[in-house]
Amino acid sequence: MPDELIAIEPYRSEHREAIAAVLINVGWEQRYIDGQLLAVEQFAMDAKDAAVFVAHQGAVFAGYISVQFYLWNRLSQIHGLVVDPSTRRRGIATSLVAQAERFVRNRGARGIYVDTPVTNTGARAFYTRQQYQQDYIMTAYYDVDLDGVTYLKLFDRA
């Protein structure tokens, strides 16, 4: 499977169960899963300012990303990015982020940001490799004892 191409497509409602399964597989708590699934459905209905993309490698559902564009400040936010552990280290997250960045750039975004738990060292390293800069820490963002960290990538002016 490592040599199979990564296919990325817009979310359809039949992807919901696969997204839920990936979130369970990576160990998310049910409250976070419920929130992500609700956001995915809402974003899928707002094709103008939000998008959800899913990735497949061959016949295997590999992951998804959800992103929202804010017109008021021309920034965008990645709300969810998850890749199934069985398909990691194959460029899937990088491809999903690139697709999300294309989507928001086409809407005039000047940058994009993402939040992750401070304890998620893998995600933090990934975003740094994608040229996102750590911007700030949000105390108790995920829970009373779990801070969040925000990474920001400002796009070059063309």
All domains in the chain, ordered by first residue: 6-154 (3.40.630.30)
Average pLDDT over residues 22-36: 94
Confidence of residue 158 (pLDDT cuts 50, 70, 90): low
In the predicted structure, residue 3 carries a pLDDT above the cut 60? no
Q: CA–CA separation, 134 vs 127, rounded Å?
A: 9
93 near 63, Cβ under 8 Å?
A: yes
pTM (2 d.p.):
0.92
Q: What confidence tens digit (pLDDT) does each residue in 78-122 have?
A: 999 999 998 888 899 999 999 999 999 999 999 999 999 999 999
Q: What is the pLDDT of residues 13-26, one digit of tens each?
A: 999 999 999 999 99
Region 141-158: what's the mean pLDDT?
Answer: 90
pLDDT band at 1 (very low <50, low <70, confident <90, very high): very low
